[in-house]
Copies of this chain bind each other. A is one copy, B any other.
Amino acid sequence: MVVSSKIKAGIIGATGYAGAELVRLLMSHPGAEVAAVSSVSFEGKPLSAVYPSLRGICDDVLQNEDAVIGKSDVVFASLPHGLSEKLAEKCAAAGKAFIDLGADFRLEAEEDYKEWYGLSYNKPQLHSQAVYCIPELHRQNLGESRLVANPGCYPTSIGLGLAPAVSKGLIRTEGIVIDSKSGVTGAGRGLTQNTHYPDCNEAFAPYKVACHRHTPEIEQTLSHMAGKRVTVTFVPHLLPVNRGIVSTIYADVAQGVDFSDIVAAYEAFYEKEKFVRVLPQGEIANLKNVKYSNYCDISLHHDARAGKLILVSTIDNMVKGAAGQAIQNMNLIMGIEESTGLDLIPPAF
Q: How far is the CA of A57 from the CA of B207 in the complex (A)?
A: 24
Q: How far is the CA of A21 from the CA of B185 in the complex (A)?
A: 24
Could you list 12 A-B pairs, sorted by A, with CB under 8 Å? A17-B349, A51-B348, A52-B279, A53-B288, A55-B289, A189-B198, A201-B241, A203-B288, A206-B284, A206-B312, A210-B306, A235-B248
CB within 8 Å of B: which of A116-157?
none
A residues near B, CB below 8 A?
17, 20-21, 24, 27-28, 51-57, 175, 177, 179, 181, 183-185, 189, 191-193, 195-207, 209-210, 231-233, 235, 237, 239-244, 246, 248, 250, 252, 277, 279, 283-293, 297, 301-303, 305-306, 308, 310, 312, 314, 318, 343, 345-349
For A26, give the chain B residue with the smallest CB separation.
B345
CB neighbours of A244 from chain B (8 A): 202, 204
State whether A52 and B283 are in contact (beta carbons under 8 Å apart), knowing that A184-B197, A196-B195 are contacts in the complex: yes
Q: How far is the CA of A56 from the CA of B279 in the complex (A)?
A: 10
Given contacts A53-B290, A55-B279, A240-B240, 11 further A-B contacts (CB under 8 A): A52-B286, A175-B252, A175-B306, A177-B177, A195-B198, A197-B201, A205-B285, A232-B306, A233-B303, A233-B308, A240-B241
Number of identical monomers bound together in the oligomeric complex: 4
CB pair A310 B209 closer than 8 Å: yes
State whether A287 and B20 are in contact (beta carbons under 8 Å apart), knowing that A196-B191, A343-B28, A348-B51 are contacts in the complex: no
State whether A242 and B301 are in contact (beta carbons under 8 Å apart), knowing that A289-B52, A348-B51 are contacts in the complex: no
Q: How far is the CA of A52 from the CA of B198 in the complex (A)?
A: 15
CB pair B27 A233 closer than 8 Å: no
A232, chain B: closest CB distance, angstroms: 7
CB neighbours of A291 from chain B (8 A): 202
A41, chain B: closest CB distance, angstroms: 12
CB neighbours of A202 from chain B (8 A): 202, 241-244, 288, 291, 349
